[in-house]
Structure 1
Amino acid sequence: MENSYSLNRQQFQAVSALAGHQRYRHFIGRVSDWQFVWGLRNEDGWVTASDSNGNLVSPFWPHPDYAIVCADGEWAGNSPASIEVRHFLSRWLPGMEKDGLLAAVFPTPTIQGVVVSPRQLKKDIEEELSRLE
């Protein structure tokens, strides 16, 4: 898929097995390097879920391959779609904050993503981007 780096099976499995905070750091690094965030969507819009506390969350991944393996169960029939990182920072995250949504960063089929506020996610990505510039 365009807008993504190449990912082999070994890398996919190794990164998927990382602890939540390590997947979070990987996500921040990759989306900053590649300038795209990935979500799952269908013709009705983007997927959301509830975390263990009942908060509405939007899941995001650093690569479409990680997203597609989560497109089963209640998310079956959805496909990965990219969001340019500057648009994600300027429009998506402020909009999510306004709507009371949290971000679920890099869930896997067996592990819930790291749930953070849109404000925290924006700060972490902006810090990484400023290091790269």
Structure 2
Amino acid sequence: MSENPTDHVLGMDGEERYDYFLDAVAEEREIWILVNEASQFLKIVSEEDRVAYLPVWPSDAFAADYAEGAGDLSPKAISLPDFFKKWVPGLTRDGIDIGVFPGAQIELWITEPEELKRDLQEVLSGPAF
């Protein structure tokens, strides 16, 4: 009778998943991406909007769920310090945005790397942390 918590989170709209992502990443201090066998990260280019983005998840379980059926993709953790020091400048330089926590819904929160970094730092410096 109880709903699977993963299904509940994946059923949230883009903004709710973004907030969930911020809290979960602040707690775990890791961001999850998908990489192929050559360790190249998954980048999605939206033909409609002409936007390239790196999809990220708050845990390996959500990333693995998204990759299901794509045999050559596997979750990889990036520590928050690495993300801030290496990934944010690199993605910004390359003009790649971040698609935060893609799920079952079509709606996706896409943000600039520096904006995600600021939001994460704000949550990290909040009263709970």
Question: What's the TM-score bracket when you normalise by the shorter of the two chains?
Answer: 0.7 to 0.9
The match for 1:5 is: none
3-state SS in 2 of match to 1:127: helix
| RMSD value, Cα | 1.7
How many angstroms apart in 1 are the aligned matches of 2:112 and 2:93? 11
- Decide which of 10, 28, 41 is 1:16's aligned counterpart: 10
Question: Please, which runs of 5 or more residues in structure 1 have no aligned partner?
Answer: 1-8
Query: What is the count of residue pairs matched by the alignment?
Result: 124
- Decide which of 106, 114, 127 is 1:119's aligned counterpart: 114
The structure whose Rg is larger is 2
2:125 is matched by which residue type in structure 1? S
For the pair 1:128 / 2:123, whether they are aligned, the reply is yes
Shift of 1:37: 0.4
| Superposition map of 1:1-133 within 5 A | 10-44=4-38, 45-51=40-46, 52-72=48-68, 75-131=70-126, 132-133=128-129
The C-alpha deviation readout for 1:101-120, integer Å capped at 9, x for no partner, is: 00000001443531100111
How many angstroms apart in 2 are the aligned matches of 1:59 and 1:65? 14
Question: Please, which runs of 5 or more residues in structure 2 have no aligned partner?
Answer: none
1:55 is matched by which residue type in structure 2? V
Q: Percentage identity across aligned positions?
A: 29
* Runs of 4+, deviation exceeding 3 Å: none
The C-alpha deviation readout for 1:13-34, integer Å capped at 9, x for no partner, is: 1100001000000001100110
